[in-house]
A and B are shown apart, each in its own frame.
Chain A
Amino acid sequence: MSARADILSNIRRSLGVTGEEAPRLTNVEQRISTAPRGLSVGRSQLPRQGQIDLFKQQAESALASLTELDSYEAVPAAVADYLRSNNLPAALRIGHDPRLDGLDWGSTAIDLLHGPSDGQDMAGLNHAFSGVAETGTLVMTASAENPTTINFLPDYALVVLHEKDITGDYESMWANLRQTYGKGTMPRVVNWVTGPSRSGDIEQVILLGAHGPRRLHILMIKEQD
């Protein structure tokens, strides 16, 4: 018997089932098709502004930094400010995101590098799919527009997040993701990012900048009235 058949039949023997029982099949079918939300967390069930404030507070307590911008057009200047204030070279790694390409980078001295990171970049910028208020977590989805390597390889990770894409809890974010990608279908990678990389492996003292970015900076675009 194949290992697969062996393992499955051993599980069934241990559980005293055949795998054909209708109620069990129905349980599994229903669980997956309805995907019940489970227990909700009170802190995320807030009015809109409360969720936004909670996101900021939680992201900062996870040691991310955050700048609020009045418009999307303000992104290049904000990036330039950030690079300057951290004494970084005026270079930025980005994917092929038409939203970012449509911005006026010419007004800054920033040298744009397109495509996935090769591990030599000091700073990179990606778009977040969403931000989850309950823990200040950014949700990044892999694509040519926003390559996964840009989330992890540059020393300084910058992320654009639209205020309108903030949800209170993870479950609301999944609901939005299913609307975008279809039920049961996932982008190749979904990265939840809560603060910059860190390690506590030496004497249990938390140090920032283990293998991923040493700093995480969020550019939050305010909702237009």
Chain B
Amino acid sequence: MTAHPTTSRFKDNAHEALGDDQLQKAMLNVRAGFIDKRAAVAAKLPEFEALRDSARDIKNHTLAHLDLYLERYEQKVIEAGGHVHWARTAEEARQIIIDLCQKSDAKIVTKGKSMISEEIALNAALSKAGITPVETDLGEYIIQLRDEAPSHIIAPAVHLNASQVESDFRRVHTHLDADRDLQEPVQLLTEARQVLRDRFLSADIGITGANFLVAETGSSIIVTNEGNGDLTQTLPKTHIVIASIEKLVPTLEDVSQILRVLARSATGQEMSVYTTFSTGPRRATDVDGPENYHVVLLDNGRSSMLGTDFQDMLRCIRCGACMNHCPVYHAVGGHAYGWVYPGPMGAVLTPTLLGVDKAGHLPNASTFCGRCESVCPVRIPLPKMMRHWREAEFSRHLTPATQRFGLAFWAFFAKRPALYKNLTPWLMSLMHLLGRDKGYLRALPLASGWTDSRDFPTPQGGTFQSLYRKQKSNGRAA
């Protein structure tokens, strides 16, 4: 639950994260759990790169016609007997959902995993209204017990180790034998399965997110591995879907193209275990499924991103590949980002949703190594957009004075090429001398914030300008 973002304290958060041994141990799982699997499964599909282009083009086409696809989608939902609610803001979305819950006198609400639910801080609002929200995705359940926010968009508890989960289960599941064995992760899974099975069967309303909304058929789609989303939406009397407006895709064929890159990019699976297409409530011929089907369409600033430098961000399909491959995310984990969306996609999205004044640190927490863009299934130019934020931050004078001074200092020389050319070789020799045999510097004056947790490599060879000149003359000679 993330009612109070701490994005503005990113530097302190990151600092704490670097010293957190439990977290650092857990973050090692990201590499083995995601990166290698994605690479292996992508290599098995020769069309993978072409499918990324296809997914990008489908999302671009949809965004360019978003108003029309939304109208078409709404019409199809209504035809199927469902209801569509439009919410401009998080507040409106919360109110719509609470009203729906109160109308049906709901006490317990089960929830499938939804980042939009996190974005609008739905759980806190439900609790305040006297309704008990129960997260059913194993990771979300664990962090709900801990009263934490997810630290990853598809692996919400990736920051935890099994021993921490064990102690949470012992603390909360007090109705179970205190001497039970919970050494093995599978025992933890089995316990959660048992505890949550009762909740599924007794819930009044099920709330899920949506990975996609299909305009052609009015269907909402959820993608899960656990099956929790399906139990959430099938068993209670009412199913509420909460989705943001950019989840639209035109047709079943279009979504099939995108599904081919989603699981592969996210978990390195060929396909997730459950992909569910839901269209309206229970029909006359059905014997199960919800009697009421509602969709809450959330804007929350997205319509204003269209036509701007940040429109491409609306292609995001929330696979998490960008954070899985991000050295900054690996080092500090998701909580340091201070709100709902961590990693590179969060660094771009969070400032649009919270404001660059509150989240300006995030787009600065990047080495611009470009790995996020290189793995993004819809080819979002994440580093370029982080640069846009840095520029916006600078032009709004939100950058700290020391940084502005540093830039001005550098600009003074950069604008005087002769001075720059004469000064840089001298500075390089000095750094080289200080680094001596090690090849790196442990500390730099005025930059301890940087060098405390990193070493600065000493410059090798000549300056860029001299190397460039040399290469150019070699090139001519060859």
Which A residue sits closest to B226, measured CB to CB?
A: A210
B256 touches A211 (CB 8 A): no
B452 vs chain A, min Cβ distance (A):
29
B357 contacts which chain A residues (CB < 8 A)?
none
Query: With an 8 A cutoff between CB atoms, is B50 at the interface?
Result: yes
Complex Cα distance, B165 from A14, in Å, reads 46
Does the CB pair A15–B306 fall under 8 Å? yes
Chain B contacts for A151, CB-based, 8 A: 230
On whether the beta carbons of A4 and B289 are closer than 8 Å, the reply is no
Residue A98 CB within 8 A of the other chain: no
Establish whether residues A188 and B215, one from each chain, have CB atoms under 8 Å apart when the complex forms.
no
Q: Given A38-B54, A62-B271, A197-B273, check contact A7 B299 (CB 8 Å).
A: yes
Bound complex: CA A212 to CA B137 (Å): 11
Residues A193 and B273 in contact in the complex (CB < 8 Å), given A10-B304, A199-B225, A201-B157: yes
Per the bound structure, the CA–CA distance linking A171 and B257 in Å amounts to: 9
Q: Give the complex CA separation of A38 and B161 in angstroms.
A: 42
Q: Are B279 and A187 closer than 8 Å at their CB atoms?
A: yes
* Chain B residue, CB-CB nearest to A143: B285
A189:B276 contact, CB within 8 angstroms: yes
User: Inside 8 A of A19's CB, which chain B residues have their CB?
Assistant: 67-68
Q: Give, as a whole number of angstroms, the nearest-CB distance from A101 to chain B.
A: 15
Q: Pick the interface stretch among B245-253, B334-342, B382-390.
A: B245-253
Q: A188-B282, A189-B289 are in contact. Are A16 and B307 (CB under 8 A)?
A: yes
A144 x B227 contact (CB < 8 A):
no
Of all chain A residues, which has the CB nearest B30?
A204
Nearest A residue to B84, CB-CB: A4
Rounded to whole Å, the gap between the CB of A79 and the closest CB of chain B is 21
Q: Any chain A CB within 8 A of the CB of B189?
A: yes
List the A side residues contacting B100 at CB < 8 Å. Answer: none
Are the C-beta atoms of B88 and A8 separated by less than 8 Å?
no
Chain A positions 192-217 with a Cβ under 8 Å from a chain B Cβ: 192-205, 207, 209-213
Chain A residues positioned under 8 Å from B165 (CB to CB): 202
Complex CA distance for A14 and B314, rounded to whole angstroms: 13
A14 and B219 CA atoms in complex are apart in Å by 26
Our pick among A10, A17, A35, A144 for the contact of B287 (Cβ within 8 Å) is A144
For A17, give its contact among B47, B67, B257 (CB under 8 Å).
B67
CA distance A187 to B47 in the complex (A): 31
CB neighbours (8 Å) of B254 from chain A are 31, 35, 38
Q: Can you pick out 23 interface pairs between chain A and chain B where the beta carbons lie within 8 Å of each other?
A: A7-B299, A28-B65, A31-B250, A32-B250, A32-B251, A36-B251, A38-B256, A41-B45, A62-B270, A119-B201, A149-B234, A171-B253, A174-B256, A188-B283, A192-B271, A197-B227, A199-B225, A200-B33, A201-B137, A201-B156, A210-B226, A211-B196, A213-B227
| 16 additional A-B residue pairs with CB within 8 Å, beyond A11-B245, A202-B142 | A3-B86, A3-B87, A14-B306, A14-B307, A147-B288, A174-B252, A174-B253, A185-B217, A188-B281, A190-B277, A191-B230, A191-B275, A194-B269, A198-B226, A201-B156, A201-B157
Where the two chains meet, the residues of B that have a C-beta atom closer than 8 Å to any C-beta of A are 26, 29-30, 32-34, 45-47, 50-51, 54, 58, 61, 64-72, 76, 80, 86-88, 92, 136-139, 142, 155-158, 160-162, 165, 185-186, 188-190, 193, 196-197, 200-201, 215-219, 225-228, 230-231, 234-235, 245, 250-254, 256-257, 259-260, 267, 269-283, 285-289, 297, 299, 303-308
Q: List the 6 shortest-distance A-B pairs measured between CB atoms, nearest first.
A: A212-B227, A204-B33, A210-B226, A201-B139, A14-B306, A116-B288
